[in-house]
Chains A and B, each alone.
Chain A
Amino acid sequence: MIRKKNARLAALAGLVMFLSTLGVLLARQFNMGPTRPAPGFRTFGPADAPVQILEYSDFACAACRKAATATDEMLKIYSGVIRLQFKHSPWVNIHPWSLDAAAYADCAGEQGKFKEYAALLFESQEKWEKAKEKPKEFEAFARDLNLDWPKLEACSAAPETRKRIKLDMAEAEMKGVNSTPTFFINGKRAVGLDQFLEQARKFDNLLRAGRSRPVGECPEK
C-alpha cells in the first residue's frame, strides 16, 4: 500500500518536474529572462527612450562594421528617442582577436573613448582580425586617441574585464544569437542589418511620434 502511494507521488513529482523544466526552456526560448544592462560607456540614448535596442556585435565581423555605421546614423537622426546598448558577442573560434578587441574597447570606454576606439577597430578590421601575433593596431589606436596605454593593457587582461565580456557572450548564447550583428528592438529580434532596417521602418510610426523624420532622412538643418 505504502509502495503504491509512493509510486503515485513519485509519478506526480516527475510530472511537476517535467512541466517546470519545459516551462523554463520555453521561457528561455522566448527571451523572457532579464537582460544585464550594458555598462554606461556602451549605452547610448536616454533610459526612457521609446525604442530600446540591444546590439550583439563582433568587432571582427564585416556585417557588424556596416551595422555600426547605420546605428550611428540612427542615433544621430533620432537622438532622444532611441537607446542602444552595445553587447559583445565575439566569435572567438573564427576571429582569434575579437575577444581582445572587445576587452580593449571596453577599457578605452573606461577612459571615456569606447565609441572612438570601436570606430577605429571597425574601420581597420582587415588589418588585425586575422593577425598571427597580437595586432599592433590595438596599441596604435590607443596612442592615436591619447589613451593611457599601460593602463589600458592592464585593464584588458584584468579578470573583471574578461568576465564582463564573457557574460555578454553567455547572454547572447542564451538568447540564441547565432550570427552577428543581432539586434533586439523593443525585444523583437532582427538578424543582420537588413532585418534591422526593416524593423526600424516598422518603428518609424513610433519614432515619428517622438520626432518627425523617417529612417534614412537627414536631420533638418
Chain B
Amino acid sequence: MNLKTDVKDILGLLARLAVAGVFVYAGILKLLAPAEEFAYAIETYKVTGPGLSLWAAYIIPWLELYSGLLLAAGIFTRFNALFCGAMLVFFEALLAQAWLRGLPVTSCGCFGSGSSNSLEYEFFQNLVFLALAAAAFRYSRRFSADAAMDAAETRL
C-alpha cells in the first residue's frame, strides 16, 4: 500500500469536499423550505407535471444531503462521487433543455427557491462541479473512511 501523499491526493480531497459541500448546502436549503417551493421551480422546466415535481421535490434534497455527506466523509467514495456526477449530468440535461427551449425559468431551484443566476451561468457552473466530481472519483480515496477501513484491516 502506497502511503505517500502526493499533490493529486490533496487536489482529489479538495475536489471531493467542494462537490460534497455544494450538495450538502443545496440539500439543506431545500429541506428547510417547503417542498412545494422546489416543486414549483421544477415545474418551470416543463418536463414533469405537478404531481411528479412534488415527489421529486421531496426526494432530491435528501439524496443531495446524503450523497454529499457520504462523499465528504469518504464512505463508498467512488460510488458517491459517481452518484453526485450522475445527478449533475441530470441537472445539466434539465438546464440545457430549458435554455434551448428559451423557457422563462426565473429560479433554477439549484439552491432553494431564492433568486438564481441565468440558466447559462448555472449550466457552466455545473460543468465545473462535474469536473470536480470526476476528480473526486479518480483521486480521492486518500483521507477517507474507505481508506481508514482499509488501513485498519491491513493492521489486523
Contacts and interface: CB of A to CB of B under 8 A. Distances in A.
Contacts of A16: 66, 69-70, 73, 75
Given A13-B76, A16-B75, A8 B149 contact: yes
Given A5-B153, A9-B76, A166 B36 contact: yes
A32 B36 contact: no
Interface stretch (B8-16, B24-32, B91-99, B131-139): B24-32
Given A24-B28, A167-B40, A12 B75 contact: yes
B66 A20 contact: yes
A13 B37 contact: no
Interface stretch (A39-47, A120-128, A168-176): A168-176
A28 interface: yes
Given A12-B75, A24-B31, A167 B69 contact: no
A32 B113 CA distance: 16
Interface residues of B, number: 26
Interface in B107-145: 112-114, 145
B49 interface: no
A2 B32 CA distance: 38
A163 interface: yes
Interface string A161-203: 0010011001101100000000000000000000000000000
Interface bin, chain A: 20 to 34
Contact of B33 (A8, A17, A34, A163): A34
Nearest to A28: B32
Contacts of B66: 16-17, 20
15 contacts: A9-B146, A9-B149, A12-B73, A16-B66, A21-B62, A24-B31, A24-B32, A33-B33, A34-B32, A34-B114, A36-B33, A36-B113, A166-B36, A167-B40, A174-B34
Given A9-B145, A16-B69, A170-B35, 20 more contacts: A8-B149, A9-B146, A9-B149, A12-B145, A13-B70, A13-B76, A16-B75, A17-B69, A20-B66, A20-B69, A24-B31, A24-B32, A24-B65, A34-B29, A34-B33, A36-B33, A166-B36, A170-B34, A170-B36, A173-B34
